[in-house]
Amino acid sequence: MTDTEDLSRIVREELGKLTRYEIPHPENIRVRLDANESPYPLPPELARVLTEYEAAWRVGDGAALARLFEEDGFVLPNGHLPVQGRSAIRRYYEGSGGPLVLHAFAFATEGAVGYIVGGFARREGGPDVGKFTLTLRRSADGRWSIVSDMDNGNQPSR
């Protein structure tokens, strides 16, 4: 079995065990999800992932972004082929960047596997221009890293 097949099996098993934290139906919630507010504040160890991602993106630091990922991690960008591996992720992100504010809609963790589902804006308090999912893995030292990052914009495709 390859490392990727092993990882896929582990993720499937662990996702089956997750405790889910769901967003209440929008009609029953007063928090505006498009205003960078989260109904579920992230634990500090997960918030660190978003904070470091924002900081690296804002300055176009592809190397810092890549370090947030597992060595064999994936970026699954809207309208592009998947990008796999830290070095490919670094090259893909190098020079990309600009204003970015991330916030969580939902998250869950169980053991060494977790996820964050959220939205992103171009300025604090601005409307969301897109959404994302991060699949995460916790290392033996307790630090969470990104296994996969998928995002897409809120504008309909043409």
CATH number of domain containing 29: 3.10.450.50
How many domains are contained in the chain? Answer: 1
Regarding pTM above 0.95, the answer is no
Q: Is residue 116 part of a domain?
A: yes
Q: Is residue 44 part of a domain?
A: yes
Name the token pair of 41: 């504040």
Q: Is residue 140 part of a domain?
A: yes
Structure confidence at residue 23 as a pLDDT band (50, 70, 90): very low
pLDDT at residue 10 tops 80: no
Pairing type for strands 69-77 and 144-153 reads parallel
pLDDT at residue 104 tops 90: yes
Q: Is residue 134 part of a domain?
A: yes
Q: Is residue 158 part of a domain?
A: no
Q: Is residue 25 part of a domain?
A: yes
Task: Residue 104: give the domain boundaries.
Answer: 3-153
CA distance 139 to 141: 5
The radius of gyration of the chain's CA atoms, rounded to the nearest angstrom, is 16
Specify the pLDDT at position 155. Answer: 84
